[in-house]
Structure 1
Amino acid sequence: METTDFMLEFFSMDYANYTNDNETDVDSVYNDHGHHICKGEILCMLLLAANVIIIVLGVVGNGVVIWIAGFKMKKTINTTWYLSLAISDFIFCATLPFNTFYIATEDWIFGHFMCRLTSFVMFLNMFSSIFLLVIISMDRCIAVMFPVWAQNQRTIKKASLIVLIAWVLSVSLSMPSAIFRDVQHHLGRTRCHNNYFIVDSHKYITICRFIFGFLIPFLFIMVCYSVIICKLRSNQMAKSTKPFKIMTALIVTFFFCWVPYHTFVLAELNQSFPTKIIIYGLSIGTSMASANSFLNPILYVFMGNDFRQKFKNSILSKIENAIGEEGRTMSRYLSRSSSMDARASTHI
């Protein structure tokens, strides 16, 4: 199998291998030479090394966040949001070793089920992460706009239910990545690739992923943050901006990690783009998307405390402070807002 052929199939996790003779068949683009992918391929070796880093830091970092938010901290609405986000990232990083082995050997030995599962988990992570960021943004917006109502109605039970709904939607939208994933024996090796056996299904799935997994959620997030910024500037009621800085960092990181992937996946639908540009663009874009899963715990650490205090506190304390400070700040904000609203009502 030609190296560029394999890179397009694997790294994109989304290249169409159609059974329809009128559609593009990647095997007809390149000749097969049957050598290992990372022999003489600098980009592939770099991406392989990046995957190893993502696995180690992602599993350890998100594992620590799960331990702290799930077992060490008091259960709150904020820990519910971030625990779910960490679980999503942890699951993805835990399945990434299978794909990393596939990069190194160019031979899928893990069977049909794992071929489908690894692709499914990637998009499950994408959808669940962005949906959770939307939920957190809307939660912040409602708390700022309607502090009295939010203080009375925001409960852990409701937050857990909302998270469950987000996961159900994420699973539903990720199912096509498992349905159209297939295993094929080719030139003595086993390939794990996409087999879009329904005409135009690749196009529709790609567009739906972009719309529901990126475009619409970011519009919601931008609207929520615009409202929050305007409200806070007008009344100057927030004593600490750290929680909003953390959320902003999470959103900006997700945006920059996933924009290259979506850009080249959409470009791949336009056959006028040079194939090699799509190949390497998707390779880099997919690795950047994967990197988002280990960056979140790092953001908790480096934005949770003042820089000068970072070396005085343990990493566990930093993460706990980063997550817990959101709840403390939000409680202070809601209490202060409620008291101001109450005083205002006595003058009406």
Structure 2
Amino acid sequence: MDLVNFTDLLSVSTLVRNSTHFPVPASNVIIAFLLCTSVIIGTITNGLYLWVLKFKMKKTVNTLLFFHLILSYFISTLILPFIATTYLQDNHWSFGTAMCKIFNATLSAGMFASIFFLSAISIDRYLLTLHPVWSQLHRTPRWATGIVLGIWLSATALAVPYLVFRETKDDHKGRVICQNNYAASPNWESNKMQTLGKRIHVACFISRFLLGFLLPFSIITLCYKREH
């Protein structure tokens, strides 16, 4: 992204600031600029990798797993323009409640999918190295297709809570915030709903930590140690 595009970005931030009446900090403009740069680089590089894996390489277990790993990265890259726009509006969400839900659910699904595919690649390498006979008999593209389908279904299921509980809220300062409402009720301030929301929040956090970090980390670490 050259100087002209950066000037355009500054002009956009000025327009957004004038239209929403929010002063945009310079740090937000810098972050938005970096995000826009990441969108350009990520779209080109990930798109190129996807094209090569899809059309220029033989369909094997490795290429299939890596294709979907990069696809999960590519999906996450497409989310960045929404984040950049929000930064330019000083954290004001201007895309509506439906997009707030879809945005966060898609981001979560992409995150879970990328972690699960990294784990699957580690397991596949472990099986290929330490169980070559079994791998030769069972490690086929059809087998890998089933693994890929299972990962995407699992990632989508784990992202459903963020589709359900994500809401937009007026902060009483003219700014709309896209955030979690674990009470799943328009009555945000009720003590009963706040208590229920805290319990659901804890459950979501624990499941996200266990399935999105601890389990994949343990699998990758164990496979690496067994290989070496």
- TM-score in same-fold range (> 0.5): yes
Question: Which of the pair has more CA radius of gyration?
Answer: 1
Residue 53 (structure 1) aligns with: 37
Alignment of 1:80-91 (within 5 A): 80-91=64-75
Higher relative contact order, structure no. (Cα contacts within 8 Å, ≥ 6 residues apart): 1
Residue 190 (structure 1) aligns with: 176
Residue 62 (structure 1) aligns with: 46
Q: CA deviation at 1:92?
A: 1.2
Residue 76 (structure 1) aligns with: 60
Is contact 2:100–2:167 with CA below 8 Å preserved after alignment? yes
Q: Give identity over the alignment, percent.
A: 35
TM-score by length of 2: 0.79
Residue 319 (structure 1) aligns with: none
The whole-number CA distance in structure 2 between the counterparts of 1:158 and 1:113 is 36
Equivalent in 164, 171, 174 of residue 179 of structure 1 = 164
Q: CA deviation at 1:60?
A: 1.3
Within the alignment, does 1:123 sit opposite 2:118 as a pair?
Answer: no
Q: CA deviation at 1:72?
A: 2.1
Aligned partner letter, 1:158: W
Aligned partner letter, 1:185: D
SS of 1:109's equivalent in the other structure is: coil
SS of 1:108's equivalent in the other structure is: coil
Runs of 4+ in structure 1 deviating by more than 4 angstroms, as ranges, are: none
Aligned residues: 193
SS of 1:193's equivalent in the other structure is: strand
Q: CA deviation at 1:130?
A: 1.0
Is contact 1:99–1:118 with CA below 8 Å preserved after alignment? no
- Residues 6-50 of structure 1 show CA distances to partners (whole Å, capped at 9, x for unaligned) of xxxxxxxxxxxxxxxxxxxxxxxxxxxx733x325x3x3443233
Alignment of 1:268-307 (within 5 A): none
Is contact 2:182–2:198 with CA below 8 Å preserved after alignment? yes
Aligned partner letter, 1:217: P
The whole-number CA distance in structure 2 between the counterparts of 1:84 and 1:72 is 15
The whole-number CA distance in structure 2 between the counterparts of 1:56 and 1:112 is 27
SS of 1:200's equivalent in the other structure is: helix
SS of 2:198's equivalent in the other structure is: coil
The whole-number CA distance in structure 2 between the counterparts of 1:144 and 1:108 is 49
Is contact 1:134–1:221 with CA below 8 Å preserved after alignment? yes
The whole-number CA distance in structure 1 between the counterparts of 2:22 and 2:96 is 22
Flag structure 1 segments of 5+ consecutive residues without an equivalent.
1-33, 230-348
Is contact 1:88–1:129 with CA below 8 Å preserved after alignment? yes
Aligned partner letter, 2:162: S
Aligned partner letter, 2:135: A
Q: CA deviation at 1:152?
A: 1.9
The whole-number CA distance in structure 1 between the counterparts of 2:129 and 2:181 is 47
Q: CA deviation at 1:164?
A: 0.6
Is contact 1:96–1:118 with CA below 8 Å preserved after alignment? no
Aligned partner letter, 1:95: I
Q: CA deviation at 1:206?
A: 1.5
The whole-number CA distance in structure 2 between the counterparts of 1:119 and 1:170 is 13
Flag structure 2 segments of 5+ consecutive residues without an equivalent.
1-20, 184-196
The whole-number CA distance in structure 1 between the counterparts of 2:203 and 2:137 is 42
User: Quick check: 70-79 or 157-166, which moved more?
Assistant: 70-79
SS of 1:116's equivalent in the other structure is: helix
Within the alignment, does 1:159 sit opposite 2:144 as a pair?
Answer: yes
Aligned partner letter, 1:96: L
- Residues 142-162 of structure 1 show CA distances to partners (whole Å, capped at 9, x for unaligned) of 111111221121110110110
- Residues 302-328 of structure 1 show CA distances to partners (whole Å, capped at 9, x for unaligned) of xxxxxxxxxxxxxxxxxxxxxxxxxxx
Q: CA deviation at 1:93?
A: 0.8
Aligned partner letter, 1:93: T
- Residues 73-105 of structure 1 show CA distances to partners (whole Å, capped at 9, x for unaligned) of 221111101110111111111122112101111
Equivalent in 94, 101, 118 of residue 85 of structure 2 = 101
